[in-house]
Amino acid sequence: MAGRGLRFLRRGRLVEIEAFDPHTTILDWLRLEEGATGTKEGCAEGDCGACTVILARHHSGQLVYHPVNACIHLLGQLDGAELITIEDLAQGAMLHPVQEALVSHHASQCGFCTPGVVMSLFALYHQEGPVDRAKAQAALSGNLCRCTGYRPILDAAVSVCAGERLDRFTETEPVSLQVLAALDDEEDVFVGDAQRFFAAPRSEAMLSALIERFPEARLVAGATDVGLWITKELRILPQVIWLGRVRSLGQIVQGVDRLVLGASVPLAEAIPYLSRLDPDFESLMQRFGSEQIRHVGTIGGNLANASPVGDLAPALIAMGAVLELVKAGEARALPLQDFFKAYGQQDRQAGEYVRAVHIPRLSEGMHFRALKISKRFDDDISSVTGAFCVTLEHGLIAEARLAYGGMAGIAKRASHAEAFLKGQPIGSAATWKQAADRLTEDFSPLSDHRASAHYRMQAARGILIKALAEIAGLPAASTRIHPRMATDLEPQGGGPDV
């Protein structure tokens, strides 16, 4: 297969690599090849943030700085980006303003987490808009510190972002933008040979050709799942096809009656669009992983991995979403709820990939709620996620779509509870409880390290009652710690109506 080598920007120079192991992570490349050991390895599974680095990219004419977990990000995924690490911030003895703030607020003790904290705050420093404590906390949702304590770190974050945010990166931004825009070319990437390769096609035509020729190759989008197979299960991935350069898979189309999200749209980019479908998407997505995970993890990856505890599947099943699957150029539509067959088994043929998900907008009388229960607020996989779409007509429930994650081997609808609710008055507390009782007919959840079966069932009951009570008109203030979010997020771009 033809294609150019890997190209990215590092410390002001263009790095071109013609040979590398397809499953090499950025962290291994930095520490073992480049000898840049400032970036640390803690958990090696995207949880602690010690390995955080920045990828700067050209995006819709702007330079964006995204924090990424180098431990689970593949070297090949650097194509077209600038890699910025902790070594690049200080200039001689002159610290970067973020580093200076951490020093003056005594925000580091053992220092193991510090490079990752600095890089997450570097990304925050380069974001637009004022930074308060909540925003700083969100920016650090993927960074654990075991000894300093978060107060001084947050103090440093808020104070450094309060002033004018200028550093040598902002000064050289026009040049970086030009270079990165040039790297964002139309060529396919192919490094290796037929046995062992990293490929990054530019078009779906080339993607289909690669899949046909190499049916065993592993598709990789953000690698926030696949990365862990490498670092935790020590799996060797000899043939990798990265979807990050296929333009059409990154498209977002806002239609009158539906939102269409391309499979490779990163979760963070999708949030403003999803939040406009219903504010609960914003609350749900803010609980999805961390900043580092949301910037690279994708919509398609979250659905295609078919995890029983994935957060998007129940929410999108409740919305009545439809998957667009493609094999050898032929597309088919499949309701998302039918995609998940059994644990680890999906209605996806060999060689078929997810192109997009179509999410209908709520119509008159439809009410949506999505609620996630997990042990930690940030960066934690759910014990139970429930998503509910209820259509009301004259105070009666005309239709209810109740979907759960964490209650079975797949994300699944609660058909007994749904059937019970049909025709019932929404305003009756007895109705809410009786619907919750039906959940035992729908699910026999498992006990595992996240939650016991009993806990899961109680949580599933609780969130259903809470959602129905809110839809009936009980003020959210009496059911939630944070009110339902009224989104002020502005989507970037977005395509034409469909």
- Residues of this chain that bind ligand FAD (CB under 6 A): 45-47, 218-226, 228, 243, 263, 267, 288-289, 293, 297-298, 300-302, 304-305, 310-311, 353-354, 379, 381
Confirm or reject binding of residue 141 to ligand FES (CB under 6 A).
no
Residue matched to tokens 């330079």: 63
Confirm or reject binding of residue 146 to ligand FES (CB under 6 A).
yes
Q: Which does 49 bind (CB under 5 to 8 A by kind): ligand FES, ligand FAD, none?
A: ligand FES
Longest Cα separation, the chain: 72
Of 65-104, which residues contact ligand FES (CB under 6 A)?
69, 71
The residue (of 137 and 170) whose beta carbon lies closer to ligand FES is: 137
Q: Which does 145 bind (CB under 5 to 8 A by kind): ligand FAD, ligand FES, none?
A: ligand FES
Confirm or reject binding of residue 148 to ligand FES (CB under 6 A).
yes
Q: Which does 305 bind (CB under 5 to 8 A by kind): ligand FES, ligand FAD, none?
A: ligand FAD
HSE of 56, CA atoms in CB hemisphere, 13 A: 29
Q: Least Å distance between CB 103 and ligand FES?
A: 12
Report d(CA 133, CA 155) in Å as an integer.
8
Q: Which does 199 bind (CB under 5 to 8 A by kind): ligand FAD, ligand FES, none?
A: none
The residue (of 138 and 396) whose beta carbon lies closer to ligand FES is: 138
Per CB under 6 A, the list member of 5, 10, 15, 109 interacting with ligand FES is 109
Confirm or reject binding of residue 154 to ligand FES (CB under 6 A).
no
Residue matched to tokens 């007509």: 393
The residue (of 33 and 257) whose beta carbon lies closer to ligand FES is: 33
Confirm or reject binding of residue 47 to ligand FES (CB under 6 A).
yes
Confirm or reject binding of residue 229 to ligand FES (CB under 6 A).
no
Name, in order, each residue with C-beta under 8 angstroms of 104's C-beta and a sequence gap of 6 or more: 156
Q: Which residues of 301-324 are buried (b: 16+ CB within 10 A; e: fewer)?
A: bbbbebbbbbbbbbbbbbbbbbbb
Report the DSSP pairing between strands 13-17 and 189-192. Answer: unpaired
Q: Least Å distance between CB 111 and ligand FES?
A: 5
Sign of CA dihedral 73, 74, 75, 77: negative
Give percent helix, percent strand, percent coil of the chain, each to the nearest 5: 35, 25, 40
Q: Which stretch binds ligand FES (CB under 6 A): 58-66, 142-150, 156-164, 193-201?
A: 142-150
DSSP string for residues in 475-494: -GGGT-SSPPP---PPPP--
CB 336 within 8 A of CB 321: yes
Q: Least Å distance between CB 263 and ligand FAD?
A: 4
Category of 160 on φ-ψ map: left (φ > 0), alpha (ψ -120 to 50) or beta = alpha
Report the DSSP pairing between strands 239-242 and 197-200. Answer: parallel
Q: Least Å distance between CB 269 and ligand FAD?
A: 12
Q: Least Å distance between CB 169 and ligand FAD?
A: 27
H helix or E strand, kind and range, residue 59: strand 52-59
Among 70, 83, 56, 75, residue whose Cα is nearest residue 116: 70
CB 144 within 8 A of CB 79: no
CA 12 to each of CA 7, 82, 83, 172, 380: distance values in angstroms, whole numbers, following the listed order? 13, 9, 10, 10, 36
Confirm or reject binding of residue 115 to ligand FES (CB under 6 A).
no
Confirm or reject binding of residue 48 to ligand FES (CB under 6 A).
yes
Q: Which does 51 bind (CB under 5 to 8 A by kind): ligand FES, ligand FAD, none?
A: ligand FES
The residue (of 82 and 380) whose beta carbon lies closer to ligand FAD is: 380
Per CB under 6 A, the list member of 3, 22, 46, 266 interacting with ligand FES is 46
Sign of CA dihedral 485, 285, 281, 496: positive
Q: Which does 112 bind (CB under 5 to 8 A by kind): ligand FES, ligand FAD, none?
A: ligand FES
CB atoms < 10 A from the CB of 221, how many?
28
Q: What angle is formed at CA 189 by the lines to CA 187 and CA 193, rounded to 5 degrees?
A: 140
Q: Which does 71 bind (CB under 5 to 8 A by kind): ligand FAD, ligand FES, none?
A: ligand FES
Q: Least Å distance between CB 42 and ligand FES?
A: 4
Q: Least Å distance between CB 41 and ligand FES?
A: 5
Of 4-43, which residues contact ligand FES (CB under 6 A)?
41-43
Per CB under 6 A, the list member of 16, 19, 91, 111 interacting with ligand FES is 111
Query: How many residues in total does the chain contain?
Result: 498
Q: Strand, coil or helix: what is 206?
A: helix
Given the rule CB under 6 A, which residues bind ligand FES? 41-44, 46-51, 69, 71, 108-114, 145-148
